[in-house]
């Protein structure tokens, strides 16, 4: 588990993903997309029907968030992560579509962790409770699909130095499990 902060840009490439290890602090910049339960269900249906997605999923990063409305002078309101396991059923299809990264909070299922290894992906943790701070790294926000879902609409975000931690890496590492083990050894 490294100490050096890594600067990473989207879209994610296999080469970059392979440099990331659990515990790495990352400053993510570039374009990411927001999707929660309803948007994922719609995307899953589009994939199943062979329809074109409303964004280029190749190398994409999906942030599990339903931001609050933007206050005056801001591009977005508070934008803290939602619990990721609710999106686990949609991960296989999203990986097939080209997604390579996910941002959220909380542990993932064994199936998702296996797919992260198989598909050379990465799961980043965003600090829950720091929604206002996280929103400061979002410099542009635009609803691109499913506007009827309100906060759960699909958004395209431009982020600059969004602070994240690598929770699951493409080598099968799991910060939640290994962090507990390391802590247990220390006490």
**Catalytic positions:** 40
Residue 108 and residue 88: Cα distance in Å, rounded?
A: 7
User: Residue holding tokens 């064994």?
Assistant: 110
How many CA atoms, within 13 angstroms, populate the side-chain half-sphere of residue 162? 32
């Amino acid at each position: 588990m490294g100490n050096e902060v890594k600067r990473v840009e989207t879209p994610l490439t296999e080469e970059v993903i392979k440099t990331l290890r659990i515990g790495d602090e990352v400053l993510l910049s570039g374009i990411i997309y927001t999707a929660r339960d309803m948007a994922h269900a719609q995307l899953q249906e589009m994939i199943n029907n062979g329809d074109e997605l409303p964004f280029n999923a190749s190398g994409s990063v999906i942030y599990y968030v339903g931001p609050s409305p933007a206050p005056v002078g801001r591009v977005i309101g508070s934008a803290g992560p939602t619990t990721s396991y609710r999106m686990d059923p949609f991960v296989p299809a999203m990986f097939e579509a080209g997604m390579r990264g996910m941002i959220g909070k909380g542990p993932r299922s064994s199936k998702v962790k296996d797919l992260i290894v198989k598909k050379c992906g990465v799961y980043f943790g965003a600090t829950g409770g720091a929604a206002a701070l996280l929103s400061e790294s979002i410099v542009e926000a635009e609803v691109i699909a499913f506007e009827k879902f309100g906060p759960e609409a699909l958004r395209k975000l431009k982020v600059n130095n969004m602070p994240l931690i690598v929770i699951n890496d493409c080598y099968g590492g799991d910060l939640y499990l290994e962090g507990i083990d390391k802590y247990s050894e220390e006490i």
